[in-house]
């Protein structure tokens, strides 16, 4: 037997062993991939079951907006939802943002507008103000439907001076928006469901066809008032609610942007942090306030 024959025999045996190893590794990788896919499918199915239970529980207590939002996310077939202005305004957190916007126009914008207004002259002015909302009250549907959101009031005013009196009329449109998205590492406690991790929503988006979307709404007010230059007082201030209007889609986008601070002329969010802490300590009080606000508005409509 020659050495050449032995060498070729060893090479053939080595090649056969290598082929067997490759086949074994390929088979093992395929099995691992199949197992991983199965684990992903099982987790997606589990998250969907949990979310459907949450939707059922929400509808059973009348929290239909929160239920609709979660269902829209699961279905993954919308990029935007328009929420009812009346529904949003039934929450104290949103009304508080409204009040801050109105206060800005009355206390800062209008006094600035009239500074150089001469007798017998007329002026058209505009300004805006942003108020952040952070609602984490577990007794509030707004916390489940949105959580942290933004409002911005855009005001246009007509001012006419006659002597020491300035008559002011204007319109303020308030836009509300929020991205229905999820934040890695965050979680939220939901009565009846326990602590729900945002990681579930992120996983469902990555593997289960779920899709984030923008939520929007807008409504407007008509303003009228009189400013007395001698007394330096604004009197007869009246805000009349006009109802819903078309939202400004230039505000907000997906994913929620890091705006790096509030723009000039807008609210910086500082006292919202104080309000949020207070609301966390007084959840039941705020829940009763929201309930009473709805009752008062229903009685007014009648």
Is 50 part of any domain?
A: no
Looking at residue 192, its pLDDT comes to: 74
- Cα dihedral 216→87→240→137 (10° resolution): -90
DSSP annotation of 105: I
DSSP annotation of 130: E
Length of the chain as a residue count: 302
Nearest to 167 by CA among 116, 117, 205: 117
Cα 213 to its chain centre, rounded Å, is 10
- Give residue for tokens 């593997």: 207
Q: How many helices (H) and strands (E) does the chain have?
A: 9, 8
DSSP annotation of 84: P
Number of domains in the chain: 1
- The mean pLDDT values, 10 residues at a time, for the chain of 302 residues are 48 56 59 74 95 94 95 96 97 94 95 92 96 82 90 97 96 97 86 85 95 97 95 91 96 58 38 39 47 59 58
Looking at residue 220, its pLDDT comes to: 98
Is 12 part of any domain?
A: no
Looking at residue 232, its pLDDT comes to: 84
Looking at residue 44, its pLDDT comes to: 96
Is 240 part of any domain?
A: yes
Looking at residue 98, its pLDDT comes to: 96
β-pair type (213-228, 80-82): parallel
Is 62 part of any domain?
A: no
Identify each DSSP E strand in the chain by its residue range.
80-82, 122-134, 148-162, 165-180, 187-190, 194-197, 213-228, 233-244
Tell me if 187 sits within 8 A of 195, measured CB to CB.
yes
Write out the residue range of the structural domain in which residue 231 sits: 80-301
List the structure tokens of 298.
């229903």
Looking at residue 3, its pLDDT comes to: 43
Nearest to 99 by CA among 131, 135, 142, 140: 131
Looking at residue 297, its pLDDT comes to: 57
The 3-state DSSP class for residue 191 equals: coil
Residue 155 CB contacts under 8 Å (≥ 6 apart), including other chains? 105, 109, 126, 127, 128, 129, 170, 171, 172, 173, 223
Is 1 part of any domain?
A: no
The 3-state DSSP class for residue 181 equals: coil
Tell me if 159 sits within 8 A of 119, measured CB to CB.
no
pTM for the predicted model, two decimal places? 0.76
**Whole-angstrom distance, CA of residue 121 vs CA of residue 91:** 41
DSSP annotation of 137: -
Distances (CA, A) of 242 to 172, 173, 245: 10, 9, 9
Q: H or E element: which one contains 204?
A: helix 198-207
Is 152 part of any domain?
A: yes
Task: Dump the DSSP string for 225-269.
Answer: EEEETTTTEEEEEEEEEEEE----TTS--SSPP--SSPPTTS--S
Looking at residue 194, its pLDDT comes to: 80
């Amino acid at each position: 037997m020659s050495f050449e024959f032995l060498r070729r025999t060893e090479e053939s045996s080595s090649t056969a062993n290598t082929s067997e190893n490759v086949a074994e590794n390929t088979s093992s990788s395929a099995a691992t991939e199949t197992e991983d896919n199965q684990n992903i499918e099982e987790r997606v199915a589990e998250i969907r079951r949990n979310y459907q239970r949450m939707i059922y529980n929400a509808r059973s207590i009348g929290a239909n907006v929160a239920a609709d939002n979660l269902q829209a996310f699961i279905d993954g077939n919308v990029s935007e939802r328009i929420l009812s202005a009346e529904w949003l305004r039934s929450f104290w957190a949103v009304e508080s943002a409204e009040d801050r916007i109105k206060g800005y126009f009355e206390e800062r914008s209008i006094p600035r507008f009239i500074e150089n207004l001469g007798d017998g002259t007329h002026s058209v002015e505009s300004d805006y103000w942003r108020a952040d909302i952070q609602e984490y009250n577990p007794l509030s549907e707004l916390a489940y439907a949105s959580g942290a959101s933004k409002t911005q009031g855009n005001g246009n005013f007509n001012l006419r001076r006659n002597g020491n009196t300035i008559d002011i009329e204007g319109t303020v449109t308030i836009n509300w928006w929020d991205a229905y998205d999820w934040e890695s590492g965050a979680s939220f406690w939901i009565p009846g469901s326990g602590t729900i991790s945002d990681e579930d929503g992120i996983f469902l988006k990555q593997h289960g066809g779920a899709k984030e979307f923008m939520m929007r709404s807008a409504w407007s007010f008509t303003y009228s008032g009189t400013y007395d230059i001698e007394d330096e007082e604004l009197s007869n201030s009246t805000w009349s609610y006009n109802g819903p209007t078309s939202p400004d889609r230039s505000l907000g986008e997906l994913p929620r942007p890091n705006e790096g601070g509030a723009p000039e002329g807008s609210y910086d969010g500082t006292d919202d942090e104080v309000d949020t802490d207070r609301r966390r300590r007084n959840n039941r009080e705020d829940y009763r306030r929201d309930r009473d606000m709805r009752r008062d508005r229903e009685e007014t409509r009648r």
